[in-house]
Amino acid sequence: MVSRVIPVDPFDLVVFGGTGDLARRKILPALFRRFCSGQMEGGSRVIGAARSDLSADDYRKMVAEAIAEFNTSTTCEAGTIEAFLSQVDYVHIDAMGEEGWQTLADMMKPGKIRAYYFSVAPSLFGPLAERLQAHGMADGESRIVVEKPFGRDLETARTLNDTLAKYFHESQIYRIDHYLGKETVQNLMAVRFGNMLFEPLWNAQYVDHIQITVAETVGVGGRGEYYDRSGAMRDMVQNHIMQLLCLIAMEPPAKFDPDAVRDEKLKVIRALNEVTPTDIVRGQYARGEGDSDYRDDVENPKATSESFIALRVGISNWRWAGTPFYLRTGKKLKARSSEIAVIFKETPHSIFGPEAGRHRNILTIRLQPNEGMDLDVTIKEPGPGGMRLIDVPLDMTFAEALGPDGEDVPDAYERLIMDVIRGNQTLFMRGDEVEAAWAWTDPIIQGWEKRGDRPVSYEPGTSGPEDALELIHHDGRRWREIRT
Ligand code: BG6
């Protein structure tokens, strides 16, 4: 089954921070793949904008190198890069000053969709928005895309929202959470709301608990300074994991429409229970063999931020009261593996007697790697010898199910950027959602600061601190194994 490519109108996409890490790793390769799929026709252009004094040709060279290094897709034909580069331009611009703005204004062509990607520090969002307006580049149809971190607490997020609102309407602001662009994450909605099978069981009566795990093998790499100011709570939980939780827990929206979906997500965030210190375990990775530890990596021997967090939270509404959600994320763990597992309750009575053992259905949504879903069902173990039961997975790996010979599943950025061009905000966070997420997160972080809580240490290459195992064992449950 070859995926259908839906044409988009011609656009000019200006990437502020066009020479930065995110642009090189994600945005430019994603645009290249969309180009290969025929979604940059009719004179669409990518215009890099950054402080470096580069010529357009120097920039194209940098773009070609970035694509050679970071494009993992095999679907682009050899030689396509030259054609793509002919649609790439560059402007040397000063975000805080006046240099380059008139040049950019002169480059923008009328009659095309205008999108401005702010792949820069949040302190530049305001100055960029202001200058786009001042130079007449922002009409009612233009869109801005802003990257995380969107604030570091409720107050800073509010200030950012207020600043952007001075220049752009909420319907023009696309706050990216790349987890919402992942194929499986959207499939979560398709599975929940496109099938009769799951929704009647999707509540506290039938679901014992839910686990969300985002495990990484990498450390904090070259992002130590940013990470030390954030920790896993701000870097992963407040945004990516919160979004996954919302999609799992929300009520069915009346339609698949941006505000209908985001209204339901907001209700989930507002219904989250407060968590107490006993609901949370924080960790920092220790030194591996011949390796650095967390504090070395963030270059702060006194760092109190966490590279791992596990927490238990409840949702106070009719659907979920009594079903705990266990959330966990960390760096330098034993495998790169992200999944959501819905663990159903056992049958109320086993007709097969105690020797058949205890069994339950588990629906696992694998975000990465091997995007797909498993549903563990209980069957009879084949062969004679009575009624012995085993759990076997009904496996749907998306690459196998949907593509010829494992066709590439599009990257989150490809989908999200094209949604910006189409003007579809369903997979982007609304301002009030982001604020509600901070309103839940803030007291937790403030509590750590007030009490002087310190993360515990964990060995790299493991599942995280022992205390995190205790957190769930205490409730008579077990984490799912972290494995690829
Ligand atoms: C980013 C975080 O938003 O997401 C990183 O800042 C993290 O710390 C990354 O590594 C994980 O994204 P993915 O798509 O690789 O799971």
Question: Per-domain residue ranges for the chain?
Answer: 11-147, 180-409+428-473
Cβ burial of 246 (10 Å; 0-12, 13-18, 19+) is: buried
Does the domain at residues 180-409+428-473 carry the CATH identifier 3.30.360.10? yes
| Cβ atoms 461, 219 nearer than 8 A | no
Predicted local distance difference test score (pLDDT) of residue 469: 96
Q: Would residue 473 show up in a list of annotated catalytic residues for this protein?
A: no
Atom of ligand 1 nearest to the CA of 216: 10
Going from the Cα of 416 to the center of ligand 1, the distance in angstroms, rounded, reads 16
Atom of ligand 1 nearest to the CA of 214: 16
Predicted local distance difference test score (pLDDT) of residue 402: 62
Instruction: Give residue for tokens 């679907």.
Output: 75
Give the length of the chain: 484
Which residues, at least 6 apart from 135, have a Cβ–Cβ distance to it below 8 Å? 101, 102, 104, 105
Going from the Cα of 370 to the center of ligand 1, the distance in angstroms, rounded, reads 17
Helices 412-422 and 28-36, axial angle in degrees (round to 10): 70
Atom of ligand 1 nearest to the CA of 336: 16
d(CA 159, CA 74): 43
Residue 464, phi-psi category: left (phi > 0), alpha (psi -120 to 50), beta (remainder): left
Among 178, 209, 240, 474, the one annotated catalytic: 240
Kindly list the protein residues whose Cβ atom lies closer than 6 A to any atom of ligand 1: 178, 216, 235, 338
Q: Look up the CATH architecture of domain 11-147.
A: 3-Layer(aba) Sandwich (3.40)
Cβ burial of 38 (10 Å; 0-12, 13-18, 19+) is: exposed
d(CA 375, CA 393): 5
- Rg (alpha carbons) of the chain, rounded to whole number: 24
Probe target for ligand 1 pocket from 240, 305, 416, with the most ligand atoms within 8 Å of CB: 240
> Which stretches of the chain drop beneath a pLDDT of 70?
1-4, 401-408
Indicate which residue's Cα is closest to atom 2 of ligand 1.
235
Going from the Cα of 177 to the center of ligand 1, the distance in angstroms, rounded, reads 10
| Cβ atoms 298, 224 nearer than 8 A | yes
Q: Reduced to 3 DSSP states, what percent helix, strand and coil does the chain have, rounded to the nearest 5?
A: 40, 20, 40
Closest CA to 215 of 134, 323, 109, 330: 330
Q: Which strands sit side by side in the sheet containing 325-330, from one edge to the other? A: 389-397, 372-380, 362-368, 337-344, 207-215, 325-330, 308-313, 280-285, 456-458
Going from the Cα of 100 to the center of ligand 1, the distance in angstroms, rounded, reads 32
What is the pTM (predicted TM-score) of this model? 0.94
Going from the Cα of 272 to the center of ligand 1, the distance in angstroms, rounded, reads 24
d(CA 444, CA 153): 11
Residue 311 bridge partners (DSSP): 280, 327
Indicate which residue's Cα is closest to atom 15 of ligand 1.
216
Say how many CA atoms lie within 13 Å of 3 toward its Cβ.
Answer: 21
